[in-house]
Amino acid sequence: MHKQEKFRFKKLDSIGAADAEEDARFLRDCFVDTGDLEALRDMESARRIVIGRTGSGKSALLLRLADAQERVIAVRPESLALAYISNSTILQFMAELGVKLDIFFKLLWRHVFTVEILKYHFHITDEDTKRSFFQRICDLFKDKKHANALKYLEDWGQSFWEETEYRIKELTTKLERDLRASLEGGAAPVKLAAGGTQTLSEEQKCDVIQRAQYVVNNVQIRQLSEIMDLLKDVLADEQKRYYIVIDRLDENWVEDRLRFRLIRALIETVKDFSRVQHVKIIIAVRLDLLDRVFRRTRDAGFQEEKYESLYLPLDWQRGKLIELLDFRINHLIRSRFTRQPVSYRDILPRDLDGRQPIDYILERTMMRPRDVILFFNLCIEKAAERPQITVQMIREAEGEYSRARLRSLADEWVGDYPNVADFAQLFRGLKQQFRISDLDDTQCQEFCLDFLTKRKHERDVLLVEAERLLNDEIGVSDFRKTLFQVYYRVGLLGLRPMPFRNSE
C-alpha cells in the first residue's frame, strides 16, 4: 500500500456487518459473484431454493438479486399473520388427530403468491384500480378454460386485494367454518377444542379424521391450479419477469411444529410454480432447517431426491473469499486514504507460524463470508490507531472470535442439539489437530457426571448418550463416536481418516 505510514485504522472501522441488511454499503460495492446470482436470475434454471449454513451469504444473494432485477417482490414470513393459524383451536384439534393440513397450507401460499403477482402486474394500488381490474381480466380472457379461475377471483371480490394478513385470516376462518359444519352438525356431534380428542373413542376418531380430511382436501386448490394457468397467459411477455423472494424462514415467525409443515408446503408450492413462465419463487433456507423440515414432516413415499434439482447450495472457495476480503479492505481504505488498490497483503504480517496469515484466518472461518468478515473486524479493532495488523493482534482476535463462533453454532443447532455448547468444553486444551483417542476415558466420564449432576438440561442425543455412559449401557468409545458425529455435523470439527498402512 502506497504511503502506508499515513494510514491508521480507526476505532470503529470495519469491513462490513454480519447481517446482510445492515451491510448494504459494502454489499452494493463489494459483491463477489460465485455464479449463483446468474443461476437465480435465469428463468430456465431450476435452481430456486438457496441453501447453506449460517453466514454463507443467502440473504446477501437475495438482496443483490433485488438490486439487479426489476419486479422483485419480497414476502416476509412474519408479515403473514400465521400465528393466527397456530392459535386456532380447531386446527390444533385436527393436528392432534393427525389430519393432514398440507393441502390447506399450499392453498395459503398459492393464494399469497397469486395476489402479489397480479397486484404488481396490473398496478393495483387503490380502490379505482381494484374496481377496474376484474373487468380488464374478463375482457382479456373470455374462453372457457379460465372460467373457474375467474370465478375464484369473483368470489373473493374486494377482499382478494386486502393485506396478506387479512387474506390468510379469511382463508383460515372459512376452513374452520367448513370443518365445524361437517363435524358438529352430524348425528354424533364432536366438540372441536384443543384436547378434545381425548374424549373420543377410536371409532369416533377414525370417523372424524375421514370427514375432516374430506373437507381439507376439497379446499379451492383446483381453482387455484387454474389460476396458475391463468397467470401463465397473463404473464406471456418474456420481457416482464417476476421474482418472489422469501428469506428469514429460520426465525421464530410461528411455533416450530406448524412452521415445519408450512415450510414443507412452501417448498412444494415453489416446485409447483416452476410451470408458470416468467415467474420464479426463490426461498433461502438454512441447511440444518431444511434437514429438520424433511425429518419432521416425512410421510410414506417421501423422496427428497425430487427436490434436489431445485437446490442452489452456497459453497465458497479460498480464492473467492480472498477476493471478497480484498474488495472490502480496498473499499474501507481507499475511501479516505488512497486511490491505489489495497490488498490484505498490505496490512497483514508476512508470516504466522511458518504459513501465510490469510490461510490461518480462513481455516478458522469454515470458509464462510460472515465468519471472514467478523474475524477480520476483530483484527481491525485490535489495530486501532495503527497501520497494520500484527501476529499478536490476530491471536487476540481469534480468542474473541472463537467464543462468538461457538455461541453462533449453539444458536444455529439449538433445535437438534440444545447442549452442543456445553459438551464442546470436552475439547478444551486439545491441539488444533488431535486423535479421537486423545479425549481419554476418565475425562469423558468425569465431564458427563459433572454435567448431569450440577445443571438442568434439555434432552438431546448428547444428554442421552451421557446418561447411557454413566449407566454402563455403552462404553466410552461409543460415547466418543456419537460426540464426534454430532460435532462433525454442526461443523465444529473436521475428521480426517488415518492413512492405510500395509502390515506387510
> What is the spatial distance between Cα 426 and Cα 443, in angstroms, rounded to a whole number?
8
The three cell numbers of residue 327 are 474488495
pLDDT of residue 195: 59
Give bridge partners of residue 352 from the DSSP assignment.
Answer: 355
The three cell numbers of residue 361 are 484466518
Please give the angle made by the CA atoms of 352, 358 and 359, to the nearest 5 degrees. 80
Q: State the pTM of this model.
A: 0.85
pLDDT of residue 466: 95
> Would the pLDDT of 326 be above 70?
yes
- Residue range 303-330: average pLDDT? 93
**Strands, E, within 341-491: which ranges?**
none
Structural domain spans, the chain: 4-16+317-411, 36-313, 419-490
Give the type of residue at 4.
Q
Residue-wise pLDDT for 210-237, tens only, equals 888 888 887 766 666 777 778 888 888 8
User: CA-CA-CA-CA torsion for 483, 485, 487, 491, nearest 10 degrees?
Assistant: 180
- Residue range 360-366: average pLDDT? 89
pLDDT of residue 31: 92
pLDDT of residue 2: 46
pLDDT band at residue 66, thresholds of 50, 70 and 90?
Answer: very high
66-80, 371-385, 488-502: the lowest-pLDDT one: 488-502
The three cell numbers of residue 113 are 403468491
- Residue range 23-44: average pLDDT? 91
Residue-wise pLDDT for 249-307, tens only, equals 888 777 777 888 889 999 999 999 998 889 999 999 998 889 889 988 887 777 888 89
> What is the spatial distance between Cα 92 and Cα 192, in angstroms, rounded to a whole number?
9
pLDDT of residue 244: 96
Q: Tell me what percent of the residues of the chain surpass a pLDDT of 90.
A: 38
Greater confidence (82 vs 453) lies with 453
Greater confidence (26 vs 153) lies with 26
pLDDT band at residue 194, thresholds of 50, 70 and 90?
Answer: low
Give bridge partners of residue 282 from the DSSP assignment.
Answer: 245
pLDDT band at residue 158, thresholds of 50, 70 and 90?
Answer: low
> What is the spatial distance between Cα 270 and Cα 135, in angstroms, rounded to a whole number?
29
pLDDT of residue 324: 95
- Residue range 10-23: average pLDDT? 88
The three cell numbers of residue 22 are 445492515
Residue-wise pLDDT for 426-444, tens only, equals 998 888 788 888 898 999 9
The pLDDT mean for the chain works out to: 85
Greater confidence (168 vs 295) lies with 295
> What is the spatial distance between Cα 471 and Cα 281, in angstroms, rounded to a whole number?
51
> Would the pLDDT of 361 be above 50?
yes
| Spatial CB neighbours of 10, under 8 Å, sequence gap ≥ 6 | 384, 385
